[in-house]
Amino acid sequence: MNESPKKDHKYYLDLKDRVLALNDAYYNHDQSEVSDFVYDQLLHELEELEQEHPEWQEIDSPTIKVGGKASEVFSKVNHDVKMESLQDFFSVEDIDSFVRRTQRELSYEAEFVVEEKIDGLSVSLEYEKGIFVRGATRGDGLVGEDVTLNLLEISDVPRVMLHDKPERLVVRGEIYMTKSAFIRLNEIQEKNGVKLFANPRNAAAGSLRQLDPKITANRDLSLFCFNIQLVEGMEFSTHQETLKFLARNGFKIIDLEKVARTTEEIDNLIIEIEERRSRLDYGIDGAVIKLNSLKDREKLGSTSKYPRWAAAYKYPPEQVETKLLDIQVNVGRSGKLTPLAILNPVVVDGSTVSKATLHNEDYIAEKDIRIGDMVKVQKAGDVIPEISTVVFDKRPINTEKFMMPLTCPVCGADAVRKTGEAARICVNEDCPAKLKRKLEHFVSRNCMYIDGLGEKNIELFLDLGLINDLADIYLLKNHRDDLLKLPGYGEKSIDKLLEAIESSKNNSMENFLAALGIQFIGANTASLISEVVPDIDTLMMMTAANLEDIPGVGQASANAIVEYFNNPINLELIEKFRSLGLNFKSYSYKDQASREAESELPWTGLKAVVTGTLENYKRQEAELKLKELGAQVLSSVSKNVNFLLAGENAGSKLDKALNLDIKIINENEFIEALNKPEKFREDL
């Protein structure tokens, strides 16, 4: 049995750093790395530790700060009234304690309202004399982003109030995407070959924070308003009055449950909301409990982070019951056997789920998952479907325990599970499943990038025996006549494919190295190595210690490279590639003298990506300018990129940069930066 970790000061610091990292991913990059339920549990544990050890709490604690920050892409907006977050509770007992404590401080049985907690992106809407003048995201609660033009593209945002015209009004609401709109959006994304959105919340956040309002307009966003932050020239006494006022003036409001006074009444309302949760066309992750009296709210005030007059009850992840039809075992590029649940399709958190991860055989054994079972499915991290539990009282008679195969389901070779590892591995290096995945990786965009050689073509060429290893791709030209006989393949398409294959021979060493599929060696690591190592032959002679001296290359990566080139089968493959004329040299290699000279350039160490059409430069010319100033030019956007140069029709790279909160510059700003490179770097 595993011992519980010691909750000392180091444990606290590690926990704090983890929550801060999750905050950064969620608020600033619109990415959910764990489920809301898991995040809330971690934050709750952090709060408890700080209550026990107040001397541990530091100024950057996420229990003090609201998670987000304003992006530099949009203008900053200072909120006149802080946009606070809510304290979360996970049991009705905690909510009951909150209610009793609040009523005790007020010295009377106060009224509460209970609302759905919409899972979206919080915004403020500002009106002057009834006219919408500005909208902003929450940001860190004090400073947000000006997204006025984007909000004007959302039909739920009133441009002009219908009846009343207060001198000034600031309304708080939640931008969200309905489940049906989310499904439609992902269908379009899939049709266009673009990466799918993980969940409606991420889709809504990414759609609102677009540089081009036309993109926002096409994303079918919605808005619920739930609070008046500030009003001039009018007075209200209760929260109910403010919502009626908003509804009268054209704002879509969150429908209130009836007013409650006792803990029993509040608990019943929380349960009522949860019971209809799965039937709603929008996501909710809890219920909000608020004081109805605005005077009482003012009396209680707020802590450094939370209002003391409101709290949220967080529901556990949505679980939906369905039937496990089969367990499919797939073989990956490394030979790892991975079990996959095949389910009777069911809608979970807004998307249709027909498959779910089963992780490994220990996971299956621990939960005693069997084919034919009724199971409960949830989204792990709000993204990946997984089976959470088996409904044992609905288990059919005569089901059998599932056993992972001892042999590879594709080639029949032994599937071995080494001590200390969770997965079984096919020992056959020539396994067709391994080869298929390796081929798909080899031709992918960040590797050799052979356009036209997709999954279906690879499957066909494998079935016909035209490809038996990675290097055989470059022998397809010898089978041109055979290819022309295939149904659906014309002379033009075949010649275009063969030209793409031939052209890829000239790719740099970094593409070739990444394409080999060496464990731990992706495009970024291959790029770092190629700046320091002149060619594959030199790399093959290097020791693990030599490789670890390269900045960014760790022990695991170094050992994997040495192990790969010590394998006679791999050496034979390399020689075959050589005989076919592939380039083994690095185009980005710089000798010591060049690196020392480059280290003095103003943009040394910066990573940039160029996308879209520029008016004054060809893309290659812009990339050359960047390199002349010392910047490293990358082909894809990741969190390691420092800035993106975006021209017209920038596309998905711009979307990703926005979601990752990467600095984005247009062509005019680029020209200005070229003239003042030191200042540009200082401003990054």
Q: Which residues are annotated as a binding site for Zn(2+)?
A: 408, 411, 426, 431
φ and ψ at residue 584, rounded to 5 degrees: -110, 0
Which has the closest alpha carbon to 170: 226, 107, 127? Answer: 127
Which has the closest alpha carbon to 470: 570, 542, 567? Answer: 570
> Are β-strands 222-232 and 168-176 bridged in parallel, bridged antiparallel, or unpaired?
antiparallel
Tokens coding 112: 């509460």
> Which residues, listed in sequence order, are joined to residue 613 by a DSSP beta bridge?
648
Where is the binding site for NAD(+), in residues? 36-40, 85-86, 115, 138, 174, 290, 314
For residues 663 and 73, is the Cβ–Cβ distance under 8 A?
A: yes
Separation CA 175–CA 161 (nearest Å): 19
Cβ within 8 Å of residue 91, ≥6 positions away:
none
Q: Is 394 a catalytic residue?
A: no
Tokens coding 590: 């710089």
φ and ψ at residue 306, rounded to 5 degrees: -115, 145
End-to-end CA distance of the chain: 49
Tokens coding 677: 């490179």
Q: Looking at residue 281, what DSSP letter applies?
A: S
Which has the closest alpha carbon to 222: 262, 270, 189, 254? Answer: 254
Tokens coding 541: 């002679």
Q: On the CB side of 291, how many CA atoms lie within 13 Å of its CA?
A: 26
User: How many Cβ atoms from other residues are within 10 Å of residue 531's Cβ?
Assistant: 18
Which has the closest alpha carbon to 513: 550, 464, 467? Answer: 550
Alpha helices in 24-145, H assignment, sequence order: 29, 36-52, 92-106
H or E element at residue 125? strand 121-128
For residues 443 and 453, is the Cβ–Cβ distance under 8 A?
A: yes
Residue with tokens 């279906």: 456
Crossing angle of the two packed helices 568-579 and 555-565, in degrees rounded to 10: 70
Catalytic-role residue among 16, 65, 69, 117? 117
* Residue positions annotated with a catalytic role: 117
